[in-house]
Every structure is written in structure tokens, then in C-alpha cells.
Amino acid sequence: MKRIMLFLATNIAVILLLSIAMRLLGADQYLAQQGYNYQALLVFSAIFGMGGAFISLGLSKWLAKRSTGARVIEKPAGETEAWLLRTVERQARQAGIGMPEVAIFPSPQPNAFATGAKRDSALVAVSEGLLQQMSRDEVEAVLAHEISHIANGDMVTLTLIQGVLNTFVIFLSRIIGGIVNRVVFRSNSNYGIGYFISVIITQIVLGILASVIVMWFSRYREFRADAGGARGWPAGTR
């Protein structure tokens, strides 16, 4: 869940920044001059929507490390860290993926996550609380779950879904924002400050609703990763 929340928060922030960029670059003004050519609007929405999702994916490892304070294990500082590396390496080999980075982050709560844009250069991170409170068999089961996420390409799948949803969020926010601008701000301009405020607020609301869909699909993928972890390697690999 931690990796999904980070991804969604980053995605919403990126989309908002791209919307501001569209305004500064004159994209909204161009669309307004075209009388809201819906084909052009849909193309713009797809470019910025998919682009925002993949930018979020590209930032996922860096953001996860920075936000959790995760320390990547380069040289094991003890037998526990050495065991952790060996276990991840074995599971990654069984799953047919490249060795991911392995990190530990400071948290008393048992937690773990996997993220990354590529199956062969992902990140698996576990909390200090997980290592302290769970047996090695239990930790190994958790690691198998996270390796299953990577092998199944869950982050890329979620990115594609998020990109499609972003496209419709950007598209609909400009249509709904224009309606709100005319009704609330009594303006027929699709480039004024009232229109911009309407679009941003509508985009945030629609973005939150779209996140519910992403989280629902993510829950489905969690069950699939559970099945893969229970077998010791990801579902669908045999």
C-alpha cells in the first residue's frame, strides 16, 4: 500500500504541474482558440496524461528512498543483512528477473514494498520492524510477495491504467471546468483565471476519484501477488 500511495501522490502532483505548464505554454489558449476541438483536446490529454503517469513511475524508486529514508544494502552490515540479500537473490533468480536493490527503512511497524520501472532494476525494501518482529520464514514469505509484484509487472500495469485515467481526468476537467467557469464566474473565456481555477479544482476531484479505481485494481493485484508468494515464485511463471 505504501508504494501505491506514493505513486498516486506523485502522479497527482505531476499532473497538476503539467497542467500549469500547459497554461504557461499556451496549450489551453490554443484549445480555446480552436473552440474546444475535442479531438485536439483528447490528443493533448493523452500526451500529458500518459506522460504524467510514466514520469511518476520513473521517479518511484528515487521518491520511495527519499520519503522512507531507506538505506540500500551495498555491503551487508551483519548476518541478517547478508541473509536478506541471499534470499532476495534466490527468489529473483527463481522468478526470472534481475537482482533488485535491497533496502531497509527505519520504521517500527512491519512493512515492505517493491517499486521500480523495470523488472530487472527494481527496489525491494523492508522495515526494521519487519526484521525484528517476524521470523525468517515469515520475512521470506513477505519478500516472495514483493518479488511477485515485480515479476508480474504490477507497477507498469498500474502506470498504464493511471495513464488512461489521467487522460480522461485532464479531458473532462477542461470540459467541466469550462461549464463551472461560465456558471459560477459568469465568464465565457476559456483562458481566464476563473477557468484555470475551475479546471484545477475539478482535476483534483476527478484525480481523487480516479485514484479509487487504481487502488481497487491494486487490491486485485495484491491477491495475485499473495498467490505467487505462497508458491514461492510469482503467479503465471509456470
- Give CATH 3.30.2010.10 domain extents, the chain: 67-151
Q: Are 90 and 69 in contact (CB under 8 A)?
A: no
pLDDT tens for 155-176 read 888 888 888 888 888 888 888 8
pLDDT tens for 59-77 read 889 888 998 999 999 999 8
- Beta strand spans in 31-137 (E): 71-72, 101-105, 112-115, 123-127
The active-site residue, picked from 79, 89, 128, 146, is 146
Q: How far apart are CA 116 and CA 207, in angstroms?
A: 22
**Residue 146 bears catalytic tag:** yes
- pTM comes to 0.70
DSSP string over 147-186: HHHHHTTHHHHHHHHHHHHHHHHHHHHHHHHHHHHHHHS-
Residue corresponding to grid cell 503539467: 18
CATH code of the domain occupying 67-151: 3.30.2010.10
